[in-house]
Amino acid sequence: MKNTLKVFSGSANPALAEKICKSLKTTPGRVSLKRFRDGEIRVKIEENVRGADVFVIQPTHPPAENLLELLLMLDALKRASADRITAVIPYYGYARQDRKDEPRVPLSAKLIANLIVVAGADRILTMDLHAEQIQGFFDVPVDHLYSTPVLVQYFKRQPLKNLVVVSPDPGRVNRARAFAKRLGNVPIAIIDKRRPAPNVAEVVNVVGEVNRRTALIFDDMIDTGGSIIGAGNALLARKATRVFATHPVFSANAVERLTESPIAKVVVTDTIPWDRAKLTRKIEVLSIAGLLAEAIRRIHYGQSVSSLFI
């Protein structure tokens, strides 16, 4: 059993786990996820994992049961004597609460990191953290991937000309610049915005030349869609188009708002599951299963993962 690769999935995104396992030429491990009548989650690992190298795939988007399910699976695997347990978290929830920006508020991103490590994770594999410093919240190794390779491959196949990559705020400039470089050193622009309250964004200015260019707004997530739509409207007023992000949180009526907006296209990944029938033709979903599978393979065999950090 020593060094045997085993992949388990919670109920948060089983379709992504299936794709990852297919890429790794393996099958998901057997796990029972049930509920007591009062709603409590009951987890049981249905196969031997003693001495195995185990990967648990579970994004932690709402509801909170997704996070709790991950913690319970990690604890079950630790108590079953798995040799190493890697928590594969395609979307890391609570990442926006990574600092004390007001008095008497929790440092939620740090608390979640503590819970995951205490539950039994020996290593973390995640993607497009809202704030890169969250890696330092963990006291175990963290492999932080970017969806850039998947997105670059997609956009290079599109008949798009006169591009400009737009950072939705100053904090995303480095990622936008790296993405623009891989698209062929296209120029970048920056949205100067203010957040007077959570889920509320006000565009103040657009820094850079976007007039009559095809604009690709590079962001890590779309929640209510207000920030993206506001940035898109500011760009469209200057004759620009298009948008994309990594995590399709899509809370409230975000899908409807994006569909009705003048934005030409929204491109996201499958870090968070969505029923394709509930999405419109304007929203395109790319899979990051191959990228995560390659990272899992390299971690398992002790190979370098750094070439995937782009």
Q: Whole-structure pTM over 0.85, yes or no?
A: yes
The pLDDT score that the predictor gives to residue 292 is 97
Per-residue pLDDT of the chain (310 residues; tens, 9 = 90+): 557 999 999 999 999 999 999 999 999 999 999 999 999 999 999 999 999 999 999 999 999 999 999 999 999 999 999 999 999 999 999 999 999 888 999 999 999 999 999 999 999 999 999 988 999 999 999 999 999 899 999 999 988 888 999 988 887 888 889 899 999 899 999 888 665 566 555 655 788 888 888 889 888 888 988 888 888 888 877 766 666 667 888 988 899 999 988 888 899 999 999 888 888 888 999 999 999 999 999 999 999 998 776 6
The pLDDT score that the predictor gives to residue 244 is 67
44 is annotated as an active-site residue = no
| CA separation for the pair 92, 112 (Å, rounded) | 9
Task: Give start and end residues of each alpha helix (H) in the chain.
Answer: 14-24, 65-79, 108-119, 148-156, 173-182, 226-236, 254-260, 289-300
Beta carbons of 67 and 61 less than 8 angstroms apart: no
- The total number of residues written for the chain in this structure: 310
Q: Which of 19, 100, 181, 193 is catalytic?
A: 193
Domains of the chain, start order: 5-145+290-308 (3.40.50.2020), 148-287 (3.40.50.2020)
| CA separation for the pair 124, 89 (Å, rounded) | 7
The gap from C-alpha 101 to its chain's centroid, in whole angstroms, comes to 23
The pLDDT score that the predictor gives to residue 64 is 94
| CA separation for the pair 56, 122 (Å, rounded) | 11
The pLDDT score that the predictor gives to residue 187 is 94
